[in-house]
Chains A and B, each alone.
Chain A
């Protein structure tokens, strides 16, 4: 219990530090920091309908974050969530495009499954390169993000392009209403249900299966589990594909849900933010719930700021980045120091 409280305290402290740093930068840039933070608070939590907006952003963030937690706990820095998210969206849109005549429930299931599959595949190849030849997964997954962005541009201006739009439009035709799983507001029983189901499954996997314990051990000391007889390749590839799958599911859910279509360059900060959610939650599934709500609030403020307050949304990106900068710090004075047991 003390360990948990300490982790929470640490997270809060470093988030606060990040906010202070950003405040200083805002002032230096000529904005009024108090105004900025007040607007962010408004946009995130206080304005009308803010909480519903937060949920709309928090659900996909939470789903992707469970994947981040799984991968990072196993010691793999899969920072390719954005790319896997985009591939999942492509998968979902592809299913919708290929199966127009089937009953809605089948199409929805197929689309979500395709999303998971595409996302898992996009995490598979960096995982394979890492497991088989030690190729560092940070670079490969990061490059995968850039490649996925271009892939999405191509898909939405080529094969899946909306024929009724102008030549400049890079988006797919809208998903038929029957296949939508939510309206533009983004919060619906289906989405909430899927989110809860993913959360429960992820929690059980991490906390109540052998994979959870072994993955955690492997993440902290892969050499030791190898000497115990673990096949790191299986554990590792499993971790990569699970994390890609969740991001892909989130992507497909966005297309079938609030976005209603596949748009080039949508939700560009989703991946990085999902990684942050996992980190701030100290790689805990249950912690990710609350943290996802917090970052969901920031994400909805990111839309509110330029529209209502006339402030640049880059401020939110900076807050996220500053949190990332500090959040893995370990030098918080720890009164909870494990005592060396006497011989």
Chain B
């Protein structure tokens, strides 16, 4: 496992790396070597094996076969302490920070060494204040993780990774939670670290970002290495897109879709329907909510969704998206304001009533809010219709199973039997089950919260197709997404949520700069 031609030892190298989880092969026969002191991007669509690769390098997963070497030294498989001792630090996609810890405690608990050493609050603060300042973390060491905004949490996560002697810093999809400007700031910080001698391995799935920050590019697809590591200067966006998607995959609906899927170029969007002539399916007027346990609330929201229209909601996560969905659903009481659906006031109606009137929701968290993973598929599917009747109504399980099977066939869900638990499905199929349940003939307004998060390109394209079909049938759709590519490609209008307020309304062609500024609350 020698390094590149210059004769220097590779900072990170692996040979025949294979990772299997039961029947699923996440990574298969990956061999590569990364030179020290450079920024290496590893990209691919969701499900390509990038996170598994990162976790194996950090010693969190023991590979089923193959070996990893850090600076020429073989890494003990599946031993995170050994990896950290070798200088490998991983910044996780969803941060590994216990919410109730203070920043200082979060920095401290990862240190190896005397576990019994007693510290005082003040001593802890003093010890970490300098480190945090140097890394540009602008928060008090005594602040609690759960009270921090997302960008700061990520900065703390990076600071934690750098608290020990990091020689190889791995970042797993760091830009997913950041506003456009913040991603730039992150890349700047990474370049500075690289210049200081740290080898950086960054996992990304947007081509645009890869080309902006990487020195070398590696592409994974379906668990195998299909390209790289290649010099970034020699790579083109089209070539990358081809490598990421693969030759055999079905072509997406539009050229803009392709660009949006791989994040090659920012789509500008085209309105597909003149929204002003469409009848309003849902209106929110002056909607205000009280601060919830996560600190978010809505402040005087006015919005309208017309029939046959897709309204996109942009914003950094944590700026009111969840309260918005909860307010529309009726799961949270309004302090002020009103909500109407198809002209009828539903401000005080419970969710069951709203659903009867045609409200449908694809919730944020597929696995905890959309499905019961350990329950059979047919029960998951029937939940909505069962709630429309009386609790003591007699049911015919055979009939319900038949209906589920029929719906799954229409939506092309790949499943074993309807009695299998929902967790037996892949992410894309699970999302299709949710869609098959929610998008029925009586639907009038569908709220989709991060519907394509974690889905591979095929499943993502499928969801977009389903949305466009629903729009064509005259439904109103609200799409909440932190992926601007997706929003710009598919929405007829975009609203930006910032601090619980509507910070801007945009129509196509979308201006990334203006939208980005609204997302961080800067005035245009």
Contact = CB atoms under 8 A, between A and B. Distances in A.
Whether the complex brings A and B within 8 Å at their CB atoms is answered yes
Interface of A: 204-205, 207-214, 216-217, 220-221, 223-231, 234-235, 238, 337-343
Contacts of A212: 395
B405 interface: no
A205 B394 CA distance: 8
Nearest to A214: B386
29 contacts: A208-B394, A209-B391, A209-B393, A209-B395, A210-B392, A210-B395, A211-B391, A213-B379, A213-B395, A214-B383, A214-B391, A217-B375, A221-B372, A224-B380, A225-B387, A226-B331, A227-B361, A228-B355, A228-B383, A229-B350, A229-B351, A230-B383, A231-B350, A337-B22, A338-B421, A340-B22, A341-B414, A343-B426, A343-B429
Main secondary structure of the interface of A (DSSP, over half): helix
A229 B389 contact: no
A232 to B, nearest CB: 11
B382 interface: yes
A238 B375 contact: no
B423 to A, nearest CB: 8
A280 B393 CA distance: 29
Interface in B445-461: 456, 458-459
A238 B24 contact: no
A205 to B, nearest CB: 8
B369 A224 contact: yes
B269 interface: no
B435 to A, nearest CB: 14
B363 interface: yes
B390 interface: yes
Contact of A229 (B382, B387, B414, B458): B387
Interface in B152-208: none
B295 to A, nearest CB: 20
B425 interface: yes
A339 B369 contact: no
Interface string B403-439: 0000000000011100011011110110000000000
Contacts of B389: 210
Contacts of A235: 391
Contact of A224 (B24, B352, B371, B421): B371
A210 B382 CA distance: 10
Interface in B8-62: 22-24, 47
A204 B353 CA distance: 27
Nearest to A238: B391
B355 A229 contact: yes
Contacts of B329: 227
Given A209-B391, A221-B372, A238-B391, A229 B352 contact: yes
Contacts of B22: 337, 340
B397 interface: yes
B391 A227 contact: no
Contacts of A234: 391
Contacts of B416: 338-339, 341
B384 interface: yes
Contacts of B380: 217, 224
A207 B400 CA distance: 13
Contacts of A220: 372-375
Most chain-B CB neighbours within 10 Å: which of A210, A213, A228? Answer: A228
B474 interface: no
A207 B394 CA distance: 9
A338 B351 CA distance: 34
Nearest to B429: A341
A204 B382 CA distance: 18
A224 B372 contact: yes
Contacts of A342: 414, 426
B354 interface: yes
A341 B395 contact: no
Nearest to B428: A343
Contacts of A238: 391
Nearest to A235: B391
Contacts of B23: 339-340
Given A217-B375, A227-B370, A343-B414, A208 B395 contact: yes
Contact of B379 (A217, A223, A231, A337): A217
A340 B47 contact: no
Contacts of B414: 341-343
B368 interface: yes
A214 B393 CA distance: 11
Contacts of B382: 213
Contacts of B350: 229, 231
Contact of B383 (A217, A339, A341): A217
Contacts of B425: 341
A208 B397 contact: yes
B251 to A, nearest CB: 18
B448 to A, nearest CB: 13
A224 B369 CA distance: 4
Contacts of A214: 383, 386-387, 391
A208 B393 CA distance: 8
Contacts of B372: 217, 220-221, 224-225
The 4 closest A-B pairs by CB, nearest first: A229-B352, A221-B372, A229-B351, A338-B424
Interface in B433-487: 456, 458-459
Nearest to A343: B426
A231 B423 CA distance: 25
